[in-house]
Chains A and B, each alone.
Chain A
Amino acid sequence: MDTWFGEVEISDEGEIEKCNLSSRDPKELAERIHQIQKKGTAFRAGIELREIAFQCGFVDNDSEYLSLLQEACVEAARQSIKESYTPDLPIIHAVGVIDDIDEAVNLLAERLSVWYGDHFPELGLKTSDLASFVESKGLRNDMSPDDSFYVLTENSMGCPMGEKEGLILKAFAGDILALYERRSSLEQYIRDNMEDVAANLCHLAGPLLGARLISMAGSLKKLASLPSSTIQVMGANNALFKHLRSKAPSPKHGIIFNHPLVKGSSPRNRGKIARALAAKISLAARIDAFSGEFRPFLKDELEKKVASIESRQEKKRKGVGK
């Protein structure tokens, strides 16, 4: 029987027959705890370990027992945490940052548009276009007469603005622009790295959708353990719970709607195609999580399936026309 302080053999009568004690070095004990946990060797739980440790002469008193155990367990937990980081983690964080940027940048861009709108309401630009305009051109007065927007400045109903405010707005627009750039560089990062993390998922669903699925599930392993019916409606939480609570129809698709095969399908086929796609996605995630082998034919199979769904629909329509 493996205990944290050594190997012990106990007879059926509860007598200790043999104890092979480990050293009392906390680092070694931690390694031992960590290894037993990884191996997962099961024995009967709830044994008076402390008593056995006393009888084997591992320690003499309670406080010694506890301080050694505590130190070793802290170190063992540190080890396990160190080994718990998986390659899909940076992808998940990148998706998280993109979402945070989206939320923040919308707010900031809205503020810029309101403030700059006081000065130049005729401009009519929005979001990143507005930010890059303000950043490069500044206030109305700063524009050169050959600029294509110059016509709009004549007879503007906006209020005049001083140099100080102009500088603030220019810098602020620069900040917003930097966030837009950060967002696209993160997207690029995901595109470049999804293939290494989950090749099949990436090939089938596309890097960005694949990354989002992983992040919603929590990890690639968790995504792999989800039923495909869950994957099909992931991201349609409101609709799903409405369906479960009342008599609302079930959602046909969640986030996987963004896949071109689903998005581009006719509404009548959409549910069927979403179901087929979700099934293949869960297969792909499982292969990526557990074998890692690349199997491009998954996508061909999906395309065949989608084609057959569409032709069935086609036939049906012709049949009605007869």
Chain B
Amino acid sequence: MKVQELSGGVYEIKGGRKKQIATRNLVPGNIVYGERTIEDESVEYRVWNPRRSKLGAMAIRKFQMPFSKDSRVLYLGAASGTTVSHVSDMVPEGVVYAVEFAPTTMRQLLRLCDVRKNIVPLLADASRPVSYAHVVEPVDVIFQDVAQPNQAEIAVDNARQYLKKGGNLLLSIKARSVDSTAVPEKIFKEQLKILSAAQGIKLKILKKQNLSPFHIDHMGIVAQRIG
């Protein structure tokens, strides 16, 4: 088995039948959602399933992961923390501000926060960025996976207020949340337009790709803030 770093704390594990990616476990010996672990040269890696994580699907599709050891990340739509745990792996000396709206899933996320001290949980509404202004500082990366009809607007609002210049916005767009009957490609186009035509912020789309077959009718987008 050979482990090789792809980008920003994502490792590719070679050998075996299929290609796998993993992140370096921040808390060795502790697993989060029943994922497999692999040890290589006495370092523990947690295997990242792209079917359970949009960010994981983006990573396996060779999206450049803009994380570094001490990145500050704003994570919108943290849910129960499956993907958050991998982001937390990628920024061991940084911080993940994890915003989640639903109390039930937040309960699970809090259990994760007990073990992983670089996750700051926020029970708040991502469509009202100002509601966490007393806690969140400007960040290097925003990742968003919220499945709301106005997901592009939410991303723009948050990026405008919290994303540093030169920072990256990683975004998963779910076509079915915008309109369950329209053609996904058309929706993706409209959503991309909202991103590039946003007021008060300039976003440059670096890469966009459909995330099928890992996630149906989802598009992964990376954009950089240039103004």
Set of chain A residues within 8 Å of B135, measured between Cβ atoms: 3-4, 33, 49, 69, 73
Minimum C-beta distance from B201 to chain A (A): 11
List A residues 109-136 near B (Cβ within 8 Å): none
Interface membership of B226, Cβ < 8 A: no
Contact with B along A236-277 (1 / 0, CB 8 A): 000001001100000000000000000000000000000000
Interface membership of B180, Cβ < 8 A: yes
Set of chain A residues within 8 Å of B120, measured between Cβ atoms: 66, 69-70, 73
Interface membership of B118, Cβ < 8 A: yes
Contact with A along B51-80 (1 / 0, CB 8 A): 000000000000000000000000000000
Contact with A along B134-162 (1 / 0, CB 8 A): 11111000000000000000000000011
CA distance A2 to B131 in the complex (A): 12
CA distance A261 to B114 in the complex (A): 53
Set of chain B residues within 8 Å of A81, measured between Cβ atoms: 103, 106-107, 110, 123
Q: Is the CB of A66 within 8 A of B118?
A: yes
Number of interface residues of B (CB under 8 A): 29
Interface membership of A80, Cβ < 8 A: yes
Partner of B117, one of A37, A46, A67, A76: A67
Interface membership of B192, Cβ < 8 A: no
Interface membership of A290, Cβ < 8 A: no
Q: Is the CB of A40 within 8 A of B137?
A: no
Minimum C-beta distance from B97 to chain A (A): 9
Partner of B137, one of A2, A36, A47: A47
Q: Is the CB of B123 within 8 A of A80?
A: yes
Q: Is the CB of A43 within 8 A of B130?
A: yes
Q: Is the CB of B113 within 8 A of A46?
A: no
Interface membership of A77, Cβ < 8 A: yes
**Contacts A46-B161, A77-B122 known; 4 new A-B pairs at CB < 8 A:** A45-B133, A45-B162, A48-B138, A66-B95
Provide 15 A-B residue pairs closer than 8 Å at the C-beta atoms, listed in order of the A residue: A4-B134, A33-B135, A37-B124, A42-B133, A46-B136, A47-B133, A47-B137, A69-B135, A70-B118, A73-B122, A74-B113, A78-B110, A81-B106, A81-B110, A85-B103
Interface membership of A44, Cβ < 8 A: yes
Contact with B along A74-103 (1 / 0, CB 8 A): 101110110011000000000000000000
Minimum C-beta distance from A309 to chain B (A): 31
Interface membership of B119, Cβ < 8 A: yes
Minimum C-beta distance from B46 to chain A (A): 21
Number of interface residues of A (CB under 8 A): 32
Q: Is the CB of A80 within 8 A of B162?
A: no
Interface membership of B121, Cβ < 8 A: yes
Interface membership of B8, Cβ < 8 A: no
Interface membership of A299, Cβ < 8 A: no
Partner of A77, one of B110, B118, B130, B138: B110
Interface membership of B181, Cβ < 8 A: yes
Set of chain A residues within 8 Å of B107, measured between Cβ atoms: 81
Q: Is the CB of B114 within 8 A of A74?
A: yes
CA distance A77 to B114 in the complex (A): 12
A70 and B123 contact, Cβ closer than 8 Å, known pairs A40-B131, A46-B161, A49-B137: no
With both beta carbons as reference points, the residue of chain B lying nearest to A63 in the complex is identified as: B93
Interface membership of A221, Cβ < 8 A: no
Set of chain A residues within 8 Å of B184, measured between Cβ atoms: none
